[in-house]
Amino acid sequence: MISVSAVLYTTSIILILLGLYGALTRKNLIRTVISLDVIDLGVNIFLITIGYIKDGRAPIYVVGSGSLSDQAARMADPLPQSLVLTAIVIGFGVTAVALTLIMRLYEKRKTVEVSETRGLKW
Amino acid sequence: MVSPMILIALPLATAFLIVLIGSRVAARWLALAAVALLVGLAPFWFADILRNGPMSIVLADVLPPLGIAFGLDALSAGFVLLIAVSGLLVLLYSVPYIPHAGQFEGAKKAETRYYALFLLLMAGSFGLVMTKDIFNLFVFFEILCISSYILVAYSQEERSLEAGIKYMILGSIGSAFMLVAIGLSYRVAGSLAMNDIGLALAAAPHGYALLVAVLFTLGFGIEAAIFPLNTWLPDAHSSAPSSISAVLSGFVIEVALVVLVRIGISVFGTLMEPALGVLALAGVVVGELAALGQKELKRTLAFSSIGQVSIMLFAFSLGTQSGDWAGLGQLLMHTGAKSALFLVSGYFILRTGSHEIESYRGLARRMPAAAAFFSLAALSLVGMPPFFGFFTKFRIIEVAAAARSALGYAGIVVILFGTVIEAVYLFRIVRVLYGGAIEGARSDALVGIEAAAGADGATPFADGATQGALANAAGSLASAATPTRADLPALAWIAVAGFVALVLVGGFAFPWFDQALQPIAAALATL
Amino acid sequence: MRKVIGFLLIASFAFFIVSLVARDLWVDDPSQVRTLGQAAIGQTIPQSGAANTVTAIVVQFRGLDTLGEVTVLFLSALGVALLSGEFAGRGLSELFADDGGFILHYGTRLVLPLIALVGAYIVAHGHLSPGGGFPGGVLIATAVFAVLMTNAQQRLSTRLMAVIEGLAGLAFVGLGTLGLLGDKFSFLANVLPKGQLGYLFSAGIIPLIYAAVGTKVAAELSTLVTSLTGSDRDGGEDHGASSIPADTQGGAR
């Protein structure tokens, strides 16, 4: 029996590496930003997997469905979930600024290709 | 006593208020008032901590590790003081400078937003040095990074947009690595407080701890400009508005570096130190050599920042308290000298409309004060004897020799080599500033006399002007005479003078500064 | 060449990761929550009075992170507005230049109040059920987004949005400072009465903070969309149209 978290960890690492490959090799800046988002996605899956427990439930107390301590004993780890919430918002903020920068550069240059923008070679 | 939480709450609230009011004039005054208040409070916190020891702050009435471990110790209080003071000085410079920093649509609205962004950048830096929780560190790191991406691209010229994008792509990859490292740490430690993670990683399998350390260093090292991760720096620091270059080179990379070193020592043990030492030496060589080949003033200064930061990193990576002490001295010197250099070069660019060093020939004659400030800061950066830089570099070499390791001896050689190169390119700039006028004197005696009167201290470096420079002199003298674009009022010079004063006082009162740095160095190795 | 180098780099990185942590990661699923998660589950009700433990962590235990998170959003709205110069008549405005047809145009108006209502519900119940200020705020912003997309003449005042944003941000900091005034002397402390578990009016300052966050997120996202699409009422006159093509060609060469 393959463990659920092993599958999720593998998926997340593959996503991170795919995104990294894209970010390093793509010349189109829009694609680079998409690659960055793929990395972010992988990282978020990675973080949320850390909070996975076997047969866990959502970490929310429900009044009137069993004693609170019973509920507490079956909850998944809420901490990684809250970290992911923060990480998603931060990733969103970065993407918005990145796209605006690219749009602005496109206005000046009429291209979003790295190879045609001198300063962006690295 | 006011709670140090005001260091976070006040800049944030002021930034929100600036956007709410949406007026340029109000933005200036609010930002200046808020930062001035923090500058007024910072020494008291510092003094309080020296007297009573570290101050821990309980957030949300929840004790760590469940709550966020936060607090001031000697290191963070020292850095709070440094950030607040240089923030205030740069703000003073920004008020007259920023209206000239960008000609684009909506520049007036953008100026209002500049102050909000600047305050958020400061809040991010304050948070970074105060937090002892690894995820909170990430959040403040992001605030710092995103505000600097935006500020780098502020002028919205092609080169600054490019630099912003490049910085942002590398920065985002770095923060993804950091998040993975944070996840791995939480997985093994079950906690996000740095000291818990340190204990858990020490007990974890070696490979696991190594991966966490490497990922974290990769992530944070991008902002701290550690050698192979610093490709964004020359572009970003050179194409940002000069006030922002001064901030980025003046305290942002330093804060990132110190926080990285501190976490390296307290959380990862000695896992990364030897590698960082080698990378630091490579950074000195690469940074200084690259600076030598630059034609633009701000690019030269940016590459020089790579070299200087690497010198600090080398001192920190020696792993002794005296090494940390020496590194902090160098850091303080670099903040003063490099901020002054960038602010003055912003003025040069403003007046001449050119980034090229060659086009500044003979500027000293027209702007004696600016050239003098520039030369003083440059002399200190190189490490000329009566200045701050001499003592700090000397101290680092002393410490490296005392380490009695191969890395230490290699470090001495590399730092001396770097100093020679630094002297070559910085004196070349100083010579251009003064030299053009003196070359011109051969064709016009009157101008020469004026220049010699204005050149005072820097004349020794000017008399070695080469024949090649002679050929350029006449042409550049003509270009130097083009009408000036804009001038900066006295307010901006207060800022420059403040940074230069730090460098001068640091040299003449070195023992006193040294004394003040000692508790800070002691706090670096503890959490 | 670039691709080969990239591939080798990634492959070696993958090898590095797998060889270092594979044994640790590929183990059986844990049946026990980690220390801090356990503490959070245990402390949620006594310390915060919320039913949703994630909310208790996000808003109270790690409230400073959330303040930082809101600040990051604020930053990006600020940055987009600064860098776009509001893209008045430029940017993506071409895409927003038509009404999307009769059905979309009026259909949006029909569902608009419902979307906003659901958004407000999610914000208000953040301490009891999944959701909270961030998803709720985003939902409210999508209502704004839909209107902008299906109504070519519709404009939004970024000035008004900035005022709302600023006030909500000040409210968050102000609620945090409330904790400094009380006897607990702790930033972001939950000083208000906690009420009874499971009720709308419970969990002290948590719903208030989430309301501020929801308002702020909604205003910020609306500003973002407005700046990017050039639908700002306060923006400059129209300029020559130029926009990024929806599909940027190339790259796959």
* B187 to A50: CB separation less than 8 angstroms, yes or no: yes
Among A residues 28-57, those touching chain B with beta carbons less than 8 Å apart: 29, 32, 36, 39-40, 42-43, 46-47, 50
Of the listed ranges B63-72, B255-264, B378-387, C98-107, the least confidently predicted one is C98-107
pLDDT at position A122:
43
Among A residues 37-76, those touching chain C with beta carbons less than 8 Å apart: 50-56, 58-63, 68, 72, 75-76
CB < 8 Å to A10, chain C: 26
Of the listed ranges B4-8, B91-95, B433-437, C166-170, the least confidently predicted one is B433-437
List the single best residue of C41, C48, C80, C247 to mutate versus A (max A Cβ within 10 A): C41
pLDDT at position B175:
92
Does residue B415 register a pLDDT over 70?
yes
Does residue C49 register a pLDDT over 70?
yes
CA distances from B335 to A84, B243, B424, B500 (A): 36, 13, 21, 10
Of the listed ranges B44-48, B96-100, B323-327, C45-49, the least confidently predicted one is C45-49
* C80 to A3: CB separation less than 8 angstroms, yes or no: no
* B183 to A119: CB separation less than 8 angstroms, yes or no: no
**How much is the average pLDDT of C44-55?**
83
Q: What is the CB neighbour count within 10 angstroms for residue C181?
A: 10
* B116 to C78: CB separation less than 8 angstroms, yes or no: yes
User: What is the residue whose two structure tokens read 């090229």?
Assistant: B356
Give the domain ranges of chain A. 4-117
List the single best residue of A30, A89, A104, A113 to mutate versus C (max C Cβ within 10 A): A89
Residue among B136, B38, B49 nearest B88 (CA): B38
* B12 to C71: CB separation less than 8 angstroms, yes or no: yes
Does residue A120 register a pLDDT over 60?
no
Of the listed ranges B145-159, B396-410, C6-20, C93-107, the least confidently predicted one is C93-107
Sequence-distant (6+) residues with CB within 8 A of B365 are B437, B447, B450, B451, B454
Of A21, A27, A54, the CB nearest to C31: A54
On whether the CB atoms of residues B301 and B377 are closer than 8 A, the answer is no
- DSSP code of residue B73: -
User: In the predicted model, what is the mean pLDDT of chain B?
Assistant: 84
The whole-angstrom separation of Cα B132 and Cα B77 is 14
Q: Which domain holds residue C174?
A: 101-235
Give the domain ranges of chain B. 1-271, 273-527
Note the pLDDT tens digit of each residue in B158-171: 888 888 998 999 99
pLDDT at position B478:
41
Residue C95 lies in a domain: no
pLDDT at position A19:
92
pLDDT band of C160, cuts 50, 70, 90: confident
ipTM for the complex shown: 0.92
pLDDT at position C25:
76
- The tally of domains found in chain C comes to 1
Residue type, B9: A
Q: Alpha-carbon torsion C149, C154, C159, C165, what sign?
A: negative
* B179 to A87: CB separation less than 8 angstroms, yes or no: yes
The whole-angstrom separation of Cα A33 and Cα C142 is 22
CA distances from A22 to A95, B230, B299 (A): 16, 20, 29
Does residue B461 register a pLDDT over 70?
no
Share of chain C above pLDDT 70, in %: 82
Residue, of B273 and B296, whose pLDDT is higher: B296
Three-state secondary structure call for residue C100: coil
**How much is the average pLDDT of C154-178?**
83
CATH architecture for residues A4-117 = Orthogonal Bundle (1.10)
Note the pLDDT tens digit of each residue in B260-282: 988 888 888 777 778 888 999 99
List the single best residue of B17, B30, B109, B162 to mutate versus C (max C Cβ within 10 A): B109
CB < 8 Å to B182, chain A: 47, 83
Sequence-distant (6+) residues with CB within 8 A of B487 are B351
Best mean pLDDT range from B326-340, C24-38, C189-203: B326-340
* A113 to C250: CB separation less than 8 angstroms, yes or no: yes
* A105 to B176: CB separation less than 8 angstroms, yes or no: no
**How much is the average pLDDT of B239-267?**
90
List the single best residue of B135, B139, B212 to mutate versus C (max C Cβ within 10 A): B139
pLDDT at position C24:
75
Note the pLDDT tens digit of each residue in C92-141: 666 666 667 788 888 888 888 899 999 999 988 888 888 888 889 999 99
Residue C79 lies in a domain: no
DSSP A60-120: B--TTSS-HHHHHHHB--HHHHHHHHHHHHHHHHHHHHHHHHHHHHHHHHS--BSTTSGGG
* B9 to C176: CB separation less than 8 angstroms, yes or no: yes
pLDDT at position B309:
92
The whole-angstrom separation of Cα B16 and Cα C162 is 9
pLDDT band of B465, cuts 50, 70, 90: very low
Note the pLDDT tens digit of each residue in A29-82: 899 999 999 999 999 999 998 888 888 888 888 887 778 888 888 888 889 999
Residue C119 lies in a domain: yes
At residue B60, φ and ψ (nearest 5 deg) are: 55, 25
Sequence-distant (6+) residues with CB within 8 A of C242 are A107, C90
pLDDT at position A1:
65
